[in-house]
Copies of this chain bind each other. A is one copy, B any other.
Amino acid sequence: MSKYDRVYNFSAGPSMLPLEVIEDVAANLCNYKGTGESVMEMSHRSKEFQQIIDDAEANLRKLINIPDNYKVLFLQGGGTTQFSMVPLNLLRKSKKADYIVTGQWAKKAYKEATKFGDIKLVASSEEDTYSYIPEVKKDQFRTDADYAYICTNNTIYGTHYPYVPDTGDVPLVADMSSCFLSEEIDVSKYGIIWAGAQKNVAPAGVTIVIIRDDLVGFADEKCPVYLDYKIHVDKGSMYNTPPCFSIYVAGEVFKYLLKIGGIKEMHERDVRKAGKLYDYIDSSSMFKGTVRKEDRSLMNVTFVTGDEALDKKFIAEAKEQGMINLAGHRSVGGMRASIYNAMPEDGVDALIAFMKKFEAENK
């Protein structure tokens, strides 16, 4: 593999980062660009860190064309905290919100929201183990809902929305944690886009929130302070000490993406990688994909042999070959190859080669 003897890490998150970013972070760890300090030690009130966070935001804006009327936040607390922040801030008039549940994360978001308002389950694919994305029409959403909610890419089940639901005037909130920066998006179609960094962006510990500015400022006065978007908007994500190091690495990944040609180029690579793998799975008589074809994720490729013992053998032998974390989520079993942006095409090629060999040896 590389001079560092790195494995191919198919983890669903935290997951691989571009090696050249890690190398650069390592080279700057004891003295960041001549400042005489590590970013790990840097005051968040210093002009050096202000530059880091400003650049990160500016480069993210460039990458996905974020309109000026959207704010960008770098927050702690993970996706799980967004499950609460969304209803605590957006249930502002009717206290109604409409959720589509396409996997465990959407379901957790839905359940959390039910603590705070009148939440409608618009559609769910739970009865089919979340193996597809329901087609939801505009008239299924309540016109007086304060927002509608989806999870664009379902990390556990390997599905991805092939369309953006039309919710009319109801602001659409999307958890894009596991497909963020893997495809071009039209930010203006959303009220909030949020994504945990630990898939395509940075080490765990920072969540990116992109929020339309007219949705800021509606948290109840009893909302826990950290959970009020306005607190963070007003202080540019520095109301309190931000997760500086994760923000810095995120910024380095944004620069890297711009350098290789932006999201368009990244998406082409992702399509090529996932395409190869799905093609092989479809041609194989041993391996079967678990998801309806139109709804397949480019990021999380789920498959099974149909024989649990054989799945286990596959995962164990792959690990010996330096291909780690291929087990499906503990709630579903089988295999899941998470091939995020930073998974090199070589890693996918190695996986396919290994699958072929395994199939030949085990039929």
Interface residues of A (CB under 8 A from B): 1, 4-7, 9, 11-17, 19, 22-23, 25-27, 29-31, 34-46, 76-81, 83-85, 88, 112, 115-116, 196, 198, 202-206, 221-222, 224-227, 239-246, 249, 322, 324-325, 330
Mind listing 24 A-B residue pairs with CB under 8 Å?
Answer: A5-B34, A6-B37, A7-B35, A9-B41, A11-B46, A12-B43, A13-B241, A17-B38, A17-B40, A23-B30, A26-B27, A26-B30, A37-B324, A41-B203, A76-B243, A78-B241, A80-B225, A80-B239, A84-B226, A115-B221, A198-B241, A205-B206, A205-B245, A224-B224
Q: Which residue of B lies closest to A1 (CB)?
A: B36
A246 to B44, CA, bound (A): 16
Contact with A36, one of B7, B30, B45 (Cβ below 8 angstroms): B7
Q: Is the CB of B244 within 8 A of A205?
A: yes
Residues from chain B with a CB closer than 8 A to the CB of A203 are 39-41, 243-245
Residues from chain B with a CB closer than 8 A to the CB of A46 are 11, 324-325
Secondary structure at the A interface, as helix, strand, loop or mixed, is: loop
Q: Which residue of B lies closest to A36 (CB)?
A: B7
Q: Is the CB of B23 within 8 A of A26?
A: no
Contact with A225, one of B6, B23, B84 (Cβ below 8 angstroms): B84
Residues from chain B with a CB closer than 8 A to the CB of A39 are 203
Q: Which residue of B lies closest to A325 (CB)?
A: B43
Q: Is the CB of B31 within 8 A of A4?
A: yes
Task: For the complex formed, measure the closest distance between the CB of A354 and the CB atoms of chain B, giving whole angstroms.
Answer: 16
A249 to B205, CA, bound (A): 13
Q: Sorted from nearest, which 6 A-B pairs have the closest CB atoms? A: A7-B36, A84-B224, A205-B243, A40-B203, A26-B29, A11-B43
A42 to B4, CA, bound (A): 16
Q: Which residue of B lies closest to A222 (CB)?
A: B115
Number of copies: 2
Residues from chain B with a CB closer than 8 A to the CB of A83 are 225
A38 to B41, CA, bound (A): 20
Q: Which residue of B lies closest to A85 (CB)?
A: B224
Which of A45, A46, A241 is the most central at the interface, judged by chain B CB atoms within 10 Å of its CB?
A241
Which of A36, A79, A88 is the most central at the interface, judged by chain B CB atoms within 10 Å of its CB?
A36
Task: For the complex formed, measure the closest distance between the CB of A203 and the CB atoms of chain B, giving whole angstroms.
Answer: 4
A81 to B226, CA, bound (A): 6
Residues from chain B with a CB closer than 8 A to the CB of A202 are 40
A5 to B17, CA, bound (A): 28
Q: Is the CB of A242 within 8 A of B204?
A: yes
Residues from chain B with a CB closer than 8 A to the CB of A324 are 36-37, 46
A157 to B242, CA, bound (A): 22
Q: Is the CB of B79 within 8 A of A240?
A: yes
A90 to B77, CA, bound (A): 20
Contact with A22, one of B16, B29, B204 (Cβ below 8 angstroms): B29
Q: Is the CB of A40 within 8 A of B26?
A: no
Which of A1, A81, A206 is the most central at the interface, judged by chain B CB atoms within 10 Å of its CB?
A81
Residues from chain B with a CB closer than 8 A to the CB of A15 are 41, 43
Residues from chain B with a CB closer than 8 A to the CB of A12 are 43
